[in-house]
Amino acid sequence: MQKPLHRSVTEKKPYIRRLTGSLPPAASMLRSYKLYLMLLVSSIFFIVCQNQGSITSLVSNVSAASSGPGNDLPLGGPEAVAAPLQALGNDGMELLYGDSEPALGAEKIRSRSLNFKDMPLKPNDRSSSTLSATSTSAATTSTTSSSTTTTARTTPTTTTTKVATTNGVASHSNVPYRFPVDTKQLPPLYIITPTYRRPEQIPELTRLGYTLKHVQNVLWIVVEDSENRTTSVARLLEEIGVPFVQLAAPMPAQYRKQKVKPRGVSNRNRALQWIRANATEGTLYFADDDNTYNLKLFEQLRHVRKVAMFPVGLISKYQVSSPVVKNGTITGFYDGWLGGRKYPLDMAGFAVSVKFLHSRPKAQMPFKPGYEEDGFLRSLEPLDLKEVELLASNCTEILTWHTQARKNPPAPALDRKKYGGTNLVQLTSWLV
């Protein structure tokens, strides 16, 4: 009898059971766990990809806090960033500590900027002499400004801070400040800004300060034309957070009587004196507070060997002051007022190497209105124009502008009877 081609249902069951077999409960549970773990790992991976920035920030904060001397500090605050700097004390790094209130008598270097590369310096590093001189100047009285005709005075006071030591490492409740970083990695910039009290002073310093906040390894030397350093400027410098030195160098009395005054000369000469005493390398640049600066300019200034020149916009009737360059060589100068000057440049149109300044110990700025730039560059001679470096794409770009603010008259006195007890009383403290 011929067998049927298809099995019955009852015959198929044991046949299928023989082929596949039945899974034991343990194997079925293991299979479920594997599926669950795969889903869990996929979910974690997705979350990590979505929050990579936050996790990176958290890890950096934890590592910064763990490298400190063990203070109980909140993550993400300025103290957490300061912790690694405190640990550098054993590596030969001298730390300067700031007070909760600015001490106007001491030439202290302060920084709350996160732009610095936190690198320990070796004790035999050349920049350690700069740090040593800096700490010395912070503890001693201010010296007098050197000039050919007069002496600029500063307030001779000192600052004391209570510094505790833990395992030989200095610690403090405030944020430590230091300058410079490893000069072999990034040459420092010394930005010299003379300033004087006027309605536009604080706004213009604010604009320049927040520009410098984007520049690495910079020290802002702010010199006031006053007998003493003012609290308003000190407060602003602290708030901005750029590393700074605040000095005072009033204009000599005999020049205040002139119709056209040599503004900023005493201030700049005082800054040059400070650089000679505290800096060994880098570049100095006179950056007035009423100018506007492209950040590319500061990066180009870092490697100046002797003297660099570049154009300045919004100057005189020509709207630009610049060297005349042909085939990569200076053939003259283009400026709205030549005045018999050998170097008819604007103050913001040149920069000088610190080492080159040291090679010209008598270089300074003259008290001659209109001839300050020319006199200073002449004092750097011998200087061959072929040695001058041309920045701003061979002087074809404008990276700084002379954008003076509109002059404002002093604010009238506030009517205390009418507005006493209101917010206007506090607002007037910001006005001149």
**Residues tagged active-site:** 373
Give the span between the Cα atoms of 56 and 106, in whole angstroms: 39
Q: How far is CA 2 from each of CA 5, 202, 222, rounded to the nearest angstrom? A: 9, 110, 112
- Strand pairing partners for 325? 330
Angle between helices 127-139 and 265-278 (to 10 degrees): 120
* Residue 344: both structure tokens together: 């008819």
The verdict on whether residue 374 carries a ligand-binding annotation is no
CA-closest candidate to residue 285, choices 270, 307, 264: 307
Give the span between the Cα atoms of 192 and 222, in whole angstroms: 6
For every residue of 216-268, DSSP letters joined together read SSEEEEEEESSSS--HHHHHHHHHH---EEEEE-PPPHHHHTSSS--TTHHHH
Amino acid at 9: V
CA 363, 365, 368, 371 torsion: positive or negative? positive
Q: Give the residue ranges of the annotated binding site for Mn(2+).
A: 290
Q: Give the residue ranges of the annotated binding site.
A: 290
